[in-house]
Each structure stands twice: as structure tokens, then as C-alpha cells.
Structure 1
Amino acid sequence: MTDEPAPVLSDRYVLIVDDEPFHLRLVHKIVSNLGYNHILTANSGVTALQVIDKDTTRRAVELVITDWDMPDMSGLQLLNELRLNRSRFELPIIMMTAHKSGDVVSEAVRQGADCVIFKPFSGATLKEKISIARSREHTPEPNQ
């Protein structure tokens, strides 16, 4: 890893979504070690939407890092929900997956993921993906 510190998000939050407690803790630790101070977690896509929608005057989620394969609402379904809502359209989203298939990457990107990261991954790889995701600009289609 480089000595460059991650940008501190001051009043912004990173949301990590994974149904596996071990992976949730691991990604939380990596993100924290990258210098992010405000980290929220959710164990499902449904809970993630509730966290994002809750009390937006006090906190704003600036980045979502979500697992692909979760029960009830998959990461792909969460991605679709976020991309369909104009107020959340530009939210950077990183999709995590253990499925190392080109089809998975293609589908995630087609649905609007900024980056796909394969488990297991290093802190340096996640830092790079965060930088890429936060630099992307989203332009909703006129009919959305």
C-alpha cells in the first residue's frame, strides 16, 4: 500500500453490506484502516436500503460496498434499487463477489456497479476500487 492517506469523508458514510459476519468485519477493518471514520454496516440489501433512507439530514452515505450473493435481496437487486432512484443514482457502488466469472462482472457493470472486486482481496485492491468508484460520474437516462 502507498503512504497516501484515503480522503476522510468528514460527515459522509461508507456502507458495507454482507450477510456473512466474518466478511462484514473484515471489510469494515480494511475500510477503517484506509482512513474512513464513518462506517455503517448492514447484513442484507433490505437493511441497507433502510440505512440509506434513514435520517438523511444527519448523515449521508457516500459509498456502498456490497456483496453479490445474499438471501432475500441480492447485491444485484440492491444495486438496481439504488440506480432506479434519481436521488441515489450517483452513489458509488462496489460489488464484492467470490464468483470469478466474466458473466458476473458483465452483469454487475451492466446494472450500474462502478467496480467489481473478487474475494478475497487486499486492502490495496479495495483502496484502488474505492478511488475508481468515487471518481466515476453517473448520468441517468432522460426517461429515468
Structure 2
Amino acid sequence: MLRPPALVVDDYASMRSVVIEVLKRAGFTEIHQAGNGRMALAKLAEVKKVGLIISDWYMPEMDGLELLRAVRANPQTADIPVLMITAEGQRGNVLDAMQSGATGYIVKPFAPQALQERLQAMFP
């Protein structure tokens, strides 16, 4: 099955690389990346078609929650599934993310298999 283009947003290139590898193993072939929420919004405007956003929570300039809210507020991007990544000690953030329209979340540190299972559930 053809997977939609994905956008990985994280201020750490190493974390983006881990997520991108998992996406590739899950069958995603078109993968874009951004280092923060502002860059992600610019990439969304440039690419035009993204079917999945995986975003870290804490990033400089524009964090993941601000990005999520901006994505949901724009009619052109409002329906894109958004998977949030948050650190173990910030489980309280999950409620904020879900209330703001996150499709799901995964807690760091995570095993690549856990992300792959989440992706499989989202895109069977």
C-alpha cells in the first residue's frame, strides 16, 4: 500500500534520523523534515501534500503544541494526522496535545518497534 508523504519535526537531527528510519521500514518513501514548528509550517506550505506529521514537543522558536494548533487551525492542513513525541516526565502534556487535536502520542525514550506499531495502527 502506498504511504502518504510524511513530515518529521524535531530540533535534534539524530532523533529525526531515528524516526525517518522507522518510517522507511514502515513503507514511507517521501519523508520531509524540519527542525522546529516554524520550519515545519514553511515545509507544509512548500510541499502542499503531507499525510502524516510526527513532531517532538519541545523545540526552539515554535514548539510541537504550537505547531499542532497551527495545523488544526488551517483548513488545508486540519485533517493531517499528527503524532506527538513527548518525554517520559511530561505525561501531563499528553492531555494538552489530545485536547488540541493530536492523533496520538509516543513517549521518549521509545523503541523503534513501538513507533512502527503505532504507524501500523494508523496506516494498516
State the TM-score, normalized to the length of structure 1: 0.79
Distance 1:28 1:87, change over 3 A: same
**Higher relative helix content:** 2
Aligned partner of 1:76 in structure 2 is 65
Distance 1:103 1:55, change over 3 A: closer
Aligned partner of 2:27 in structure 1 is 35
Asked if 1:20 is matched to 2:12, the reply is: yes
Q: Please, which runs of 5 or more residues in structure 1 have no aligned partner?
A: 1-6, 136-144
Asked if 1:44 is matched to 2:33, the reply is: no
Partner secondary structure for residue 54 of structure 1: helix
Cα distance in 1 for partners of 2:123, 2:66 equals 21
Instruction: Measure how far apart 1:8 and its partner are.
Output: 2.7
Cα distance in 1 for partners of 2:89, 2:122 equals 20
Stretch of structure 1 that moved more, 22-31 or 67-76:
22-31
Cα displacement string for residues 98-130 of structure 1 (whole angstroms, at most 9, x for unaligned residues)? 143431111110111110101121233212322
Quote the sequence identity (%).
Answer: 31
Distance 1:82 1:43, change over 3 A: same
Aligned partner of 2:115 in structure 1 is 126
Instruction: Measure how far apart 1:134 and its partner are.
Output: 5.2
Instruction: Measure how far apart 1:87 and its partner are.
Output: 1.6
Distance 1:55 1:126, change over 3 A: closer
State the TM-score, normalized to the length of structure 2: 0.90
Paired residues, number: 124
* Larger CA Rg, structure 1 vs 2: 1
